[in-house]
A and B are shown apart, each in its own frame.
Chain A
């Protein structure tokens, strides 16, 4: 897991997506559509899903992938997923504290 994965670096994400799609980072512009502009097919979309899940420790659905069709959209999605994961972790930690206080 990325130790600071709640912060998603846009340029690192650009490089990751470029490597996955076999492109130069400069080709992955902020608004280039992965399928229409960059030639990604369904298999590469799935590859990107696995790579991003592993790199950012998030779970992505097929609907997520369909929505995240550009670099900026993917970045926004990952930021939201990371924030949700952090909030969920904090909530679970709070529950544990409550439980231990009750039991104590």
Chain B
């Protein structure tokens, strides 16, 4: 591992599956009720100051706090202008926009809540986190269906490689969709954040790390010829696995809707020799990221996490956990957890 390899030194999650990243029961049947009382805003963030903050932003703030606490003293070592953040979300403000639409078309724009209105822009979710933690280098929000959370990892890593930051926070957040909206029944809720920094920086401050993750995003048109689509998938896999090549291919979790694109990506991955387990997607982009977080936190062999949208967006993230002694003590035995 070279000194400038980006490693994960902090993991934080708040989800209906629980808040311990190493114990998320993601393969244990239908997801828990996203509307249930799984998130205690006062316990996570404090008793005051969050009444007008949308649920998805509360989730992101809480996951970020957890990730930074897990990472240890990292903010104090990186100037604010050298901190960057990339966040993926699909439905982070859908309910808020829906409510604002109802207000404007009902009692009128004068009745919009001034304290909530700033969150009408999707960028403000990560913007609020940036304000709380002095992230002043750059801040990016991605909204590509299903893949945005993995895309955020990829975009963040590219920004780091381009020298735009020395500390990267990458994450995702979602909130339930309004009742009458398509996808409401498979709404997602929760957030997860990773703290990433160069291996040399982590070593210099004596921090353990969870491992690395690399992402490649690509487009797989629904009607693409089979050979071309397979070539595209293979190229993406090769870029991800380089320089080691395809020897010892990791198993993959593919999170996708029941769509021709999802089916095609699953077929291509299997055709390329990747043991692929398909997982039904929720209505957002949370689930793929949670698989990444879970793989890092529980350690074990390398894993692929894939996501595909019906529109053709695809992303592959290769997670390579690293297991120093200190982290072994705080994570369960992956062999016992392996399904």
Q: Residues of A with Cβ closer than 8 Å to B?
A: 22-23, 43-44, 46-47, 49-50, 53-54
Contacts and interface: CB of A to CB of B under 8 A. Distances in A.
B49 A47 contact: no
Contacts, number: 24
A50 B52 contact: no
Which of A23, A43, A46: most chain B Cβ within 10 A?
A43
Given A22-B48, A22-B51, A44 B111 contact: no
Contacts of B114: 43, 46-47, 49-50
A44 B115 contact: yes
Given A47-B115, A50-B110, 15 more contacts: A22-B47, A22-B48, A22-B51, A23-B48, A43-B115, A43-B118, A44-B115, A47-B52, A47-B113, A47-B114, A49-B114, A50-B112, A53-B110, A54-B107, A54-B111
A104 B111 CA distance: 41
Interface string B40-80: 00000001110110000000000000000000000000000
A54 B47 CA distance: 26
B49 A50 contact: no
A46 B117 CA distance: 11
A50 B51 contact: no
Interface in B110-153: 110-115, 118
23 contacts: A22-B47, A22-B48, A22-B49, A22-B51, A23-B48, A43-B114, A43-B115, A43-B118, A44-B115, A46-B114, A46-B115, A47-B52, A47-B113, A47-B114, A47-B115, A49-B114, A50-B110, A50-B111, A50-B112, A50-B113, A50-B114, A53-B110, A54-B111
Contacts of A50: 110-114
Chain B at the A interface: mostly helix, strand, loop or mixed? loop
A81 to B, nearest CB: 16
Contacts of A47: 52, 113-115
Contacts of A54: 107, 111
**Interface size class of chain B, counting residues whose CB lies under 8 Å from the partner chain:** 10 to 19
Chain A at the B interface: mostly helix, strand, loop or mixed? helix
A22 B50 CA distance: 9
Contacts of A44: 115
A76 B12 CA distance: 49
A-B pairs with the 7 shortest C-beta distances?
A46-B114, A47-B115, A22-B48, A22-B51, A43-B115, A47-B114, A43-B114
Contacts of B48: 22-23
Contacts of B115: 43-44, 46-47
A50 B108 CA distance: 12
Nearest to B118: A43
Contacts of A49: 114
A53 to B, nearest CB: 8
A50 B103 CA distance: 13
B111 to A, nearest CB: 6
Nearest to A49: B114
B9 to A, nearest CB: 34
Contacts of B118: 43
A49 B111 CA distance: 10
A51 to B, nearest CB: 9
A83 B10 CA distance: 59
B273 to A, nearest CB: 55
A50 B51 CA distance: 16
A23 B48 CA distance: 8
B315 to A, nearest CB: 37
A38 to B, nearest CB: 11
Nearest to A46: B114
A49 B230 CA distance: 59
Contacts of B52: 47
A47 B113 CA distance: 6
B259 to A, nearest CB: 42
